[in-house]
Structure 1
Amino acid sequence: MTTDPENRRTRLVEDAYRLADELLFPAAPEVDRTGVIPAGHWHAIADAGLFGIAAPEESGGPGLEFAQVIEIMEVMTSGCLTTAFTWLQHHGVVIALAGTTNGALRDELFEATTSGRLRAGVAYAGVVPTPPRMRATRVDGGWRFDGYAPFVSGWGIVDLLQVSARDVATDDVIAAILPIEPAPSAIGVTPIHLGAADGTHTVSLKLDGLTVPDDRVVSRVNLDDFFASQNIGVRINGTLPLGLLRRCAALLDISGHTDAARALRERGSVARTRLDEGIPDAALLISARAEAATLALDAAAALVAADGGRGLLRGSHPERLAREAVFTLVAASRPQLKDLLVARFSSG
């Protein structure tokens, strides 16, 4: 007999397919054209419980298997990359709140974020390079954040932002969750207009003496532990190209190119397995991520070729998906990934 928790997990996966096919995909051309994600998308995602998929069962979450979380993320991307990419950032904040030792912050924000009542984004790429772009200096009662975050998605859409910085004294990574409305005067915001997924409302942020009190700090980890945890993030980002492949294959089926669709799905299954196997091995994981990105390009190219001249029309599904496949080459990228992709595309 199926237990209630199992029913809940099954329903979350089923609802992701329903939303992707019935709500997100039909609206994706208009989201792409206008650069605006409808408010109704967020309400529907919240009503389905999909803001809380990363929450563990012991914290009141659904306790999904990692494979189920990955499937939901791929399926949502197959509906609308713009919506899914903005929504994807939210789960990093849910995970941070679930594991924090800051009980007061968790009590304040955990239910609100898992329910989707508050939406969240992240700005952690500033700690990845050495020297870091984002630095934290200890001050009385908290931290001073200074630096630059080049790509932050969801500005004007999310309510909370998790900002990470490296402690100038120890190189530990300090992460804090801040409300961003109204934006603190110490944060300078520069909009960035993207050729694909422009509705993510991506900006660059410059922090100049932003004071963060201790009660907003969600975590402090040493640098090695931070980079070890990034493998999960890279695996999650692998859902973007494989989500696009799902949609390209579905459209190829509709157009009668079933053999092409089957071949792409088989290649996607191999790429998915390699991504999973690479989680404990950063080098293997980056290689698998590069493979998935090139596969998304192949899938979009097959769809454009199958559709012929109509596939070149601005706003058509093939044309949009081709631009979005290019987006997955660089979104949430790493220097090693860029080097691998340059080598792959430049070699014979």
Structure 2
Amino acid sequence: MSNSAKVLDRADRIAEEVLFPAAETVDASDTVPTAHLDLLAEEGFYGLAGPPAFSDMSAEDTTTAARALELVASGCLTTAFVWAQHHSAVMAANRSQRPGITQEWLEPLCRGVRRAGLAIAATRPGPAAVRAEPVDGGYVLHGVAPWVTGWGLVDVLLTAARDASDTLVWTLIDAVESDTLTATPIDMVAVAASRTVQVTFTGHFVPEERVTGTVPHEVYLQNDAATLRFNGSLPLGVATRCARLIGTSPLDAAVDACRATLDNAGPEQLPSARAAASALALRAAGLCATTTGSTAVLWNQPAERLMREALFLLVFGSRPAIRADLLDRLHAS
């Protein structure tokens, strides 16, 4: 069995044997069980995006990593949502040219000893949501980052902020409230146990040794479309679970085709492929609810949870091009 096959087999087993049986309980809770995240760490999945030296579950390619995320999401989208944020910090530590970042951070991140979330509002077009002011010894951050996932479940946040020259400054910030960093819970219709918050920085100091790198914002935006594949696995996970609950049907082929389109899409095609995945998740959830029947409208049932998750995935991680394509698809249907 190849390493990719081992990664996918183990991800599928965890999804089927641990995550899916507990999905309704997690959905009704206020936090993802640490046991779920600990299991992913123990099995090596926190190193999915890292080098094989630190994890037997290191993915050999993007396709394997994306499929592993899809499988975990098919078991429990909330657990997958928290865990998925972590991999950006792994990649940042692995690629960093800053002294000490790789040496200090990469191995503990890959092993899940340190766990990370994301605060990336400053990467979006328009005025910077979070600003970085250079000071002696580092930077001071000001601003608001909504949609920060995993509060209380992660140790650090890979945080983006923009300086006066419109350069993104990436830092690893301790996920701890203080006089200069506050977290306000966000109440969502799905994945509520992901502990997603809005983080406010009020003159929050970050030492220079926590800077993982910098990049002009314009350059980041030019490359952004190429990064969209990974999050497309979340709606595929929901669609996959719906297909398994329904049983053999034309939905199976639709999921496979959508996955193949995402895997083969280049940067120009990825926004449309992402929109197609979100649209498929919504259609799959509708099919699952209709197949299930009247019990689909009862709380704490897979069909109603999957429908709410499909709603969430219509807007999660969106971009103007994704939204426009998705609206066209929904109007056409």
TM-score, structure 2 normalization: 0.94
- Residue 22 of structure 1 is aligned with which of 17, 20, 23? 17
- Residue 115 of structure 1 is aligned with which of 107, 111, 114? 111
- Residue 44 of structure 1 is aligned with which of 39, 44, 55? 39
How far, CA to CA, are the matches of 2:282 and 2:63 in structure 1?
A: 24
1:33-72 mapped onto 2 (5 Å cutoff): 33-57=28-52, 62-72=58-68
- Describe the shift of the 1:46–1:232 C-alpha distance in structure 2 as closer, same or farther (beyond 3 A): farther
After TM superposition, give the deviation of residue 335 of structure 1 in Å.
Answer: 2.8
Unaligned runs of 5+ in 2: none
Asked whether the 8 Å contact 2:123–2:217 carries over to 1, the reply is: no
**Which residue number in structure 2 is paired with residue 141 of structure 1?**
137
Equivalent AA in structure 1 for residue 181 of structure 2: I
- Residue 272 of structure 2 is aligned with which of 287, 303, 307? 287
After TM superposition, give the deviation of residue 278 of structure 1 in Å.
Answer: 2.9
Number of aligned residue pairs: give it.
Answer: 332
After TM superposition, give the deviation of residue 63 of structure 1 in Å.
Answer: 4.9
- Which SS does the other structure have where 1:266 is aligned? helix
**Which residue number in structure 2 is paired with residue 106 of structure 1?**
102
- Describe the shift of the 1:233–1:315 C-alpha distance in structure 2 as closer, same or farther (beyond 3 A): farther
Identity %: 36
- Which SS does the other structure have where 1:208 is aligned? strand
- Which SS does the other structure have where 1:332 is aligned? coil
1:120-199 mapped onto 2 (5 Å cutoff): 120-168=116-164, 170-181=165-176, 183-199=177-193
How far, CA to CA, are the matches of 1:232 and 1:28 in structure 2?
A: 31
**Which residue number in structure 1 is paired with residue 262 of structure 2?**
275
After TM superposition, give the deviation of residue 276 of structure 1 in Å.
Answer: 2.6
After TM superposition, give the deviation of residue 228 of structure 1 in Å.
Answer: 4.0
Asked whether the 8 Å contact 2:158–2:170 carries over to 1, the reply is: yes
Asked whether the 8 Å contact 1:147–1:206 carries over to 2, the reply is: yes
How far, CA to CA, are the matches of 2:305 and 2:94 in structure 1?
A: 36
Asked whether the 8 Å contact 1:59–1:98 carries over to 2, the reply is: no
Unaligned runs of 5+ in 1: none
How far, CA to CA, are the matches of 2:233 and 2:59 in structure 1?
A: 19
**Which residue number in structure 1 is paired with residue 311 of structure 2?**
326
After TM superposition, give the deviation of residue 270 of structure 1 in Å.
Answer: 2.2
How far, CA to CA, are the matches of 2:179 and 2:99 in structure 1?
A: 28
- Residue 205 of structure 1 is aligned with which of 192, 199, 202? 199
How far, CA to CA, are the matches of 1:252 and 1:244 in structure 2?
A: 12
TM-score, structure 1 normalization: 0.90
Equivalent AA in structure 2 for residue 209 of structure 1: G
How far, CA to CA, are the matches of 1:150 and 1:75 in structure 2?
A: 27
**Which residue number in structure 1 is paired with residue 327 of structure 2?**
342
Asked whether the 8 Å contact 2:285–2:307 carries over to 1, the reply is: yes
Q: Deviations over 1:255-310 (max 9, x none)?
A: xxx2x3xx1121222222222333332xx211111111010011111111011101
The answer to whether residue 9 in structure 2 is matched with residue 11 in structure 1 is no
Asked whether the 8 Å contact 1:12–1:48 carries over to 2, the reply is: no
- Residue 247 of structure 1 is aligned with which of 234, 241, 258? 241
Over the aligned positions, Cα root-mean-square deviation in angstroms equals 1.8
The answer to whether residue 302 in structure 2 is matched with residue 297 in structure 1 is no
